[in-house]
Amino acid sequence: MTDEQPMILEADALYHIYESKAEDGNVVALRGLNVAMRAGEAVAVVGPSGSGKSTLLKCLGGLMKPSSGSVRLDGRNMTRLTGQELVTLRQRTVSFIFQEGNLLPSLNARDNVAQPLINQGVRSKQAKAKALEILERLQMGHRALALPAMLSGGEQQRVAIARALITEPRLILADEPTGALDPVTSREVLRLFRDLHEKDGVAFLIVTHSKEVADFCDRSLELRDGRFVAEHGKDLDITNLEVGRELLVDEIGTLTLPPDMLVRLGGAGAYSVGELSPGRLTLIGEAVDAGSGRLVLAATCPACQHAYADDEEQLCPSCGSSRPMVEA
């Protein structure tokens, strides 16, 4: 992915307010967010529960109309399109993957995967043939005629991914795609995402709590209380994050610095107070080398100290523990 790639997804001054008659009043979920994502790029949105991640994903994908602001998908302003125009744009550009899979319980795996093409008017026989090809690619061909209730969580998610791929989207929006999966299955799904991203040029916007998932992406945006507070990755311009930045100190004096400010400060370490006066604090100290921050498979099992022979082992042959990821 290069800077010459066109923009696939953009949002300007995005706000969303959930109206409520409760005593606390309306909830402001998004507070003037700007997003710029190029074709073929993989971006993660990370943050705690209630920070606005899922709301942002729905607004960016045209599943929910923001209270104000604009969203452009493949150069077209979605907030100005009619219902049918929006459906057509989404069908040829974007697919969705959710944590639960959201498969139709009455249809087998093949027919679930074929459904988006059938909805676009493709003949049923042709759609089902293509669905079977994609399931074979995902090592799910032998389960093509199984109903969702007969599939494991990992198998259901593979079917959901196949369904997302059948329209050959340029962008995939995923909401906690590995949240319900065990570590080994989660890594298999991420390996598939990486192949699609690197070999097929598919762009990803992934909402996640998982550091492993965020590590797969080219960059990640940290969302808190409806605002982006930090950006992580390589070759980032972080100056725009500092505009209007507020740092809050809680009642016991705890101050948490966002990661981009730590970068400018020099990183985590031991600091002393150089100057302290009303509204001004100067820190003096030296950062501690925190490593690259990239995640790799652990060389030894933390439970029994078994030394792994290669990078393909996912379960410890001695004690059966899942192999963890650690920072390089």
| pLDDT tens column, 116-148 | 999 888 999 999 999 999 999 888 899 999 999
User: Does the domain at residues 7-224 carry the CATH identifier 3.40.50.300?
Assistant: yes
**Is residue 218 a contact partner of residue 41, using CB atoms and an 8 Å limit?**
yes
Task: Show the tokens assigned to 221.
Answer: 């945006």
Q: Determine what percent of the chain is predicted with pLDDT higher than 90.
A: 25
pLDDT of residue 294: 64
- Residue 69 pLDDT exceeds 80: yes
pLDDT of residue 82: 82
Q: Averaged over 162-169, what is the pLDDT?
A: 90
Whether the predicted model's global pTM rises above the 0.75 cut: no
pLDDT of residue 291: 46
Phi, psi of 124 (to 5 degrees): -55, -45
Q: Where are the domains of the chain?
A: 7-224
| Beta bridge partners of residue 94, listed in sequence order | 171
Residue 69's closest CA among 93, 20, 35, 39?
35
Q: Averaged over 301-319, what is the pLDDT?
A: 77
pLDDT band at 86 (very low <50, low <70, confident <90, very high): confident
pLDDT of residue 3: 60
Q: Averaged over 250-277, what is the pLDDT?
A: 70
Round the average pLDDT of the chain to a whole number and report it: 82
Point out the least confidently predicted range of 96-105, 179-188, 208-217, 247-256: 247-256
pLDDT of residue 292: 47
> pLDDT for 268-303, tens place per residue?
667 788 788 887 888 777 655 444 456 677 888 777
Residues 22, 23, 26, 30: is their CA dihedral positive or negative? negative
pLDDT band at 19 (very low <50, low <70, confident <90, very high): confident
d(CA 163, CA 96): 9
